[in-house]
């Protein structure tokens, strides 16, 4: 494949709600450009983009697929992203390296929750954007209604650049407002396109919409605005120059009429994208950090600059190994080049360099700044790492992912699989960074967390399919805390043991009292006169810290307490550290139970975003989970509910919320604080703990 410079490259992330047709659009674009010779269908499991077996089985995108095509001597890189919210991390990483976010909406359904969720990331990254109104061939198509909704809920800068001659089953033609031509499409397999004059009956509508386009372009620059006011219009050259600038600056969001199923709108879109979408070198230089010193530096998209790339995605293939997918931000890449991984202080030698269409790889000899490619078998580089020239050690900005909203504990079905499980989950995290794994020593479980139940289930399926290990996902234990509300003025315990030879003797008096929430633990040595020798005091503190970590009521960590050692006795021969450690632990246990012990549970802040019609059901569900509504807000047409809910009541809440809202609800959560568990709940927790201890003993 020939070499492309930055001005001949376009990097587009296809985003939007699930089912809007992103994969079908990418398929027909690849076919129209001649990159593939047959059109695959999601229903048949033979698209270039959805090549993973899970994607084929479920008929949905699960991972972002890098694709490319050539049109008008321009290389267009497309990142086809999933629409299901469990895989939002794939959208985030794709938008991180894209130069334009292309949102796809269904003409009959307009703006859906996934549309808004992904669009928010376009705004966060301050990306230029465009809009495809797909499925205009649907009998319930409402193209112009969808445009108005997009103006209202996505951006007021949404502007029509082509529109359907007819909607529904007779959708075959679009009016191109830049060329001012009618473009008619035959059956997609023929690739036949006819460009002709606009029919007289559509001229007034076309003139009106072109005028709106010209006005929008004129608004984007002072010179164009002055020219527009002077002459009332812009010339074709001024329109085209201004159109490019307005899109690059994010002041105009072009909207296209599409039917991926019929192949209508493809050529018009590809012509427009190759001519007016931003090239990587037309965007603002990205700001990196120098490895030494931490100063900020602007990285220009220049093929003559020092080489620098960013790995935004990883794929693991059984017979190939790990494939690192990257964007070149500066310089040029060739096989054999040595680069420094500035995140890990490792040197990596670039092997074969590929460009991708799904799982199909094409080897290339060189990639220039602005382009997207892949390399196999880097030794120690991972998603989110920067590789740069040793002469120019920089760290490029990395991705920020949302906090997990669902968690589960991993329970192996067979003993001895722990290492395999850890390696497999590490691989799963590399491919899907929003999937997180950690061993929690407090609850003695491996916890896997992410953005939804499907994401977790697919991770477990990966363990079985690729690594041959089977596990169950079980409800995680809750990291409760224990503390006291009252005082115990004197908790005494004498550890005395004599069984021939030297005995054991330790005797302590402790005072237990509560501390304010969040104070952890405080130990006070108040011994006077050496009744407990100084050499045994650390053993007392060690014993206390050990039992604090194990808990009394539920095996949970004890917090927010002050313990004072104020008296005791010792034996000149039999006393030792272990005796005083045991005495301290037993005295603490006794005093703790006398000092009004309570269990604390983690309370989480949750923010729920739902369409208004589901308010009653969702609020009722939150209340049933012992939740407390903190406030409500409105983001038309969505309602925002803020509440505090115990973690114990949030298991699989994401699944329940989607069920209650027909998949249109979303939420985020973060730890707020710990608070006392109600007495009826406390009794159940203690009972469950005792039952669990018996089961483990058996």
Would you state the pLDDT for residue 1?
60
* Cβ neighbours for 519, distance < 8 A, ≥ 6 positions apart: 559, 560
pLDDT of residue 97: 97
The reported pTM is 0.87
498-536 b/e with 16+ CB inside 10 Å = b?
eeeeeebbbbbbbbbbbeeeeeebebeeebeeeebeeeb
DSSP string, 455-498: HHHHHHHHHHHHH---EEEEPPPP--EEEESS-EEEEEEEEEE-
- Would residue 348 count as lying in a domain? yes
pLDDT per residue as tens digits for the range 545-580: 999 999 999 999 999 999 999 999 999 889 999 999
Q: Which is it for strands 597-611 and 481-484: parallel, antiparallel or unpaired?
A: antiparallel
CB atoms within 10 A of CB 380: 12
**Whole-number pLDDT of residue 100:** 98
Domain boundary among 395, 423, 449: 395
The sign of the dihedral angle between the CA atoms of 448, 453, 454, 460 is positive
Q: Are 117 and 144 in a shared domain?
A: yes
Looking at the structure, tell me whether residues 578 and 670 fall in a common domain: no
Residue ranges making up the domain that contains 220 = 7-282
Coil/strand/helix, residue 451: coil
Tokens of residue 316, six digits: 């693991």
What are the E-state strand segments in 296-416?
296-299, 308-317, 321-330, 332-333, 338-341, 346-349, 353-357, 360-364, 367-368, 372-376, 386-388, 394-395, 406-412
Is the same domain home to 90 and 158? Answer: yes
Would you state the pLDDT for residue 698?
A: 60
User: Which among 326, 350, 352, 332 has a CA at the least distance from the CA of 340?
Assistant: 350
**Any idea of the CA torsion for 422, 427, 429, 432, to the nearest 10 degrees?**
-150
Asked whether the beta carbons of 353 and 367 are under 8 A apart, the reply is yes
Q: Are residues 27 and 159 in the same domain?
A: yes
Q: Cα-flanking dihedrals φ and ψ of residue 489, to 5°?
A: -70, -30
pLDDT at res. 696: 65
Residue 305 within any structural domain of the chain:
yes
In 3D, which of 33, 34, 30 has the Cα closest to residue 46? 30
> Residue 488: what pLDDT?
97
Measure the CA dihedral 543/544/549/553, to 10°: 110
> What is the 3-class SS of 229-283, one letter each residue?
HHHCCCCHHHHHHHHHHHHHCCCCEEEEECECCCCECHHHHHHHHHHHCCCHHHC
What CATH number did the domain enclosing 87 receive?
A: 3.40.50.300
Number of Cβ atoms within 10 Å of the Cβ of 689 = 18
| Strand extents, DSSP E, 588-648 | 597-611, 628-635, 638-646
Q: How far apart are CA 392 and CA 394, in angstroms?
A: 6
pLDDT, position 320? 61
Residues 525 and 661 in one domain: no
For residue 688, is it within any domain? no
677 lies in a domain?
Answer: yes
Pairwise CA distance, residues 387 & 308, whole Å: 6
Does one domain contain both 623 and 653? Answer: yes
- Kindly state the tokens that stand for 122: 């376009």
Considering the domain boundaries, does residue 696 fall inside one? no
- Looking up residue 432, the CATH number of its domain turns out to be 3.30.70.870
Do 442 and 463 lie in a common domain?
yes
CATH number of the domain that 353 lies in? Answer: 2.40.30.10
The number of residues making up the chain comes to 698
Flag whether 287 is in a domain.
no
Same domain, 356 and 499: no
Are 645 and 626 in contact, with CB atoms under 8 Å apart?
A: yes
Taking Cα atoms as reference points, which of 48, 12, 8, 7 lies closest to residue 256? 12
32: Cβ contacts below 8 Å, ≥ 6 apart = 188, 191, 263, 266, 267, 270
If asked whether residues 133 and 188 sit together in one domain, one would say: yes
Helix (H) or strand (E) holding 217: helix 203-219
Does a structural domain hold residue 697?
no
Position 686 in a domain? no
Query: Number of C-alpha atoms within 13 angstroms, CB side, residue 57?
Result: 5
542 CB burial (10 A radius; 0-12, 13-18, 19+): middle
Domain final position from 346, 367, 395: 395
Q: Block means of pLDDT (10 residues each) for the chain, length 698 residues? A: 91 94 94 89 82 78 92 97 92 97 94 88 96 96 96 95 96 96 90 94 96 90 79 83 93 96 94 97 95 92 96 79 92 95 94 91 95 92 94 94 91 81 84 90 89 90 83 92 96 88 91 92 94 95 95 93 96 93 97 96 94 93 96 87 96 90 86 93 89 70
CATH for 658: 3.30.70.240
Same structural domain, 603 and 590: no
CATH code: domain of residue 488: 3.30.230.10
Q: Examine the fold and report which residue of 449, 474, 499 is the final residue of a domain before the chain moves on.
A: 474
pLDDT of amino acid 347:
95
pLDDT in tens, 459-515: 888 888 878 888 989 999 999 999 999 999 999 999 998 876 778 999 999 999 999
Same domain, 390 and 245: no
Judge if 457 and 511 occupy the same domain: no
Look at the block and give the residue holding tokens 């269904």: 106
3-state secondary structure of 184: strand
Structure tokens at 457: 């289930």
pLDDT at position 298 is 96
Count of domains for the chain: 5
* Structure tokens that stand for 508 in this block: 């302590």
C-alpha–C-alpha distance, residues 367 and 328, integer Å: 8
């Amino acid at each position: 494949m020939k070499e492309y410079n930055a001005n001949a490259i376009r990097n587009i992330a296809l985003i939007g709600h699930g089912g809007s047709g992103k994969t079908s659009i990418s398929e027909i674009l690849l076919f129209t450009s001649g990159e593939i010779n047959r059109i695959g269908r999601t229903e048949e499991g033979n698209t270039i983009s959805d090549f993973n077996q899970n994607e084929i089985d479920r008929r949905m995108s699960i991972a972002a697929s890098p694709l490319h095509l050539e049109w008008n001597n321009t290389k267009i890189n497309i990142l086809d992203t999933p629409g299901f919210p469990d895989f939002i991390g794939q959208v985030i990483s794709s938008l991180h390296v894209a130069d334009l976010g292309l949102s796809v909406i269904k003409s009959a359904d307009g703006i859906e929750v996934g549309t808004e969720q992904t669009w928010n990331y376009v705004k966060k990254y301050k990306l230029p954007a465009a809009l495809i109104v797909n499925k205009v061939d649907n009998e319930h198509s409402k193209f112009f209604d969808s445009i108005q909704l997009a103006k209202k809920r996505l951006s007021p800068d949404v502007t029509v650049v082509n529109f359907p001659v007819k909607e529904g089953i007779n959708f075959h033609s679009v009016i191109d407002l830049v060329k001012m031509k009618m473009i008619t499409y035959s059956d997609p397999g023929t690739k036949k396109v006819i460009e002709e004059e606009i029919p007289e009956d559509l001229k007034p509508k076309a003139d009106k919409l072109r005028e709106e386009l010209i006005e929008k372009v004129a608004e984007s620059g002072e010179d164009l605005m002055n020219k527009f006011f002077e002459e009332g219009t812009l010339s074709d050259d001024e329109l085209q120059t201004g159109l490019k600038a307005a899109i690059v600056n994010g002041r105009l969001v072009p909207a296209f009429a599409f039917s991926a199923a019929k192949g209508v709108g493809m050529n018009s879109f590809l012509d427009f994208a190759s001519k007016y979408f931003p090239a990587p070198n037309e965007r603002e230089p990205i700001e990196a950090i120098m490895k030494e010193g931490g100063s900020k530096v602007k990285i220009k998209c220049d093929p003559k600059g020092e080489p620098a790339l960013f790995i935004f995605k990883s794929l693991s293939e059984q017979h190939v190994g790990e494939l690192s997918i990257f964007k070149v931000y500066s310089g040029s890449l060739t096989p054999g080049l040595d680069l420094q991984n500035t995140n890990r202080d490792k040197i990596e030698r670039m092997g074969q360099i590929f460009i991708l269409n799904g799982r199909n790889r094409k080897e290339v000899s060189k990639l220039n700044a602005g382009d997207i490619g892949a390399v196999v078998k880097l030794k120690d580089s991972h998603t989110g790492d920067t590789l740069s020239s040793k002469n120019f050690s920089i760290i490029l900005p990395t991705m920020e992912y949302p906090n997990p909203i669902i968690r589960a504990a991993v329970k192996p079905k067979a003993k001895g699989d722990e290492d395999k499980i850890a390696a497999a989950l590490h691989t799963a995290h590399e491919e899907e960074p929003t999937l997180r794994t950690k061993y929690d020593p407090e609850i003695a479980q491996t916890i896997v967390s992410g953005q939804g139940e499907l994401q977790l289930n697919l991770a477990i399926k990966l363990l079985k399919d690729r690594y041959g290990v089977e596990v169950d996902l079980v409800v995680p234990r809750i990291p409760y805390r224990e503390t006291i509300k009252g005082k115990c003025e004197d908790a005494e315990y004498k550890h005395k043991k004599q069984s021939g030879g030297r005995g054991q003797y330790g005797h302590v008096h402790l005072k237990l009292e509560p501390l304010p929430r969040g104070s952890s633990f405080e130990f006070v040595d108040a011994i006077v006169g050496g009744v407990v020798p100084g050499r045994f005091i650390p053993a007392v503190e060690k014993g206390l810290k050990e039992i604090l970590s194990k808990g009394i009521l539920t095996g949970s960590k004890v917090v927010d307490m002050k313990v004072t050692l104020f008296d005791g006795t010792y034996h000149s021969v039999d006393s030792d550290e272990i005796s005083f450690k045991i005495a301290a632990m037993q005295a603490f246990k006794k005093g703790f139970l006398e000092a009004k012990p309570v269990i604390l549970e983690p309370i989480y802040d949750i923010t729920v975003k739902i369409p208004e019609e589901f308010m009653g059901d969702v609020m009722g569900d939150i209340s049933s989970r012992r939740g407390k509504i903190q406030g409500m807000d409105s983001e038309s047409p969505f309602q925002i509910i803020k509440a505090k809910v115990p973690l114990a009541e949030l298991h699989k809440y994401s699944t329940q919320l989607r069920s209650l809202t027909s998949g249109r609800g979303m939420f985020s959560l973060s730890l707020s604080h710990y608070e006392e568990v109600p007495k009826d709940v406390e009794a159940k927790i203690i009972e469950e703990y005792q039952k669990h201890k018996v089961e483990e003993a058996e």
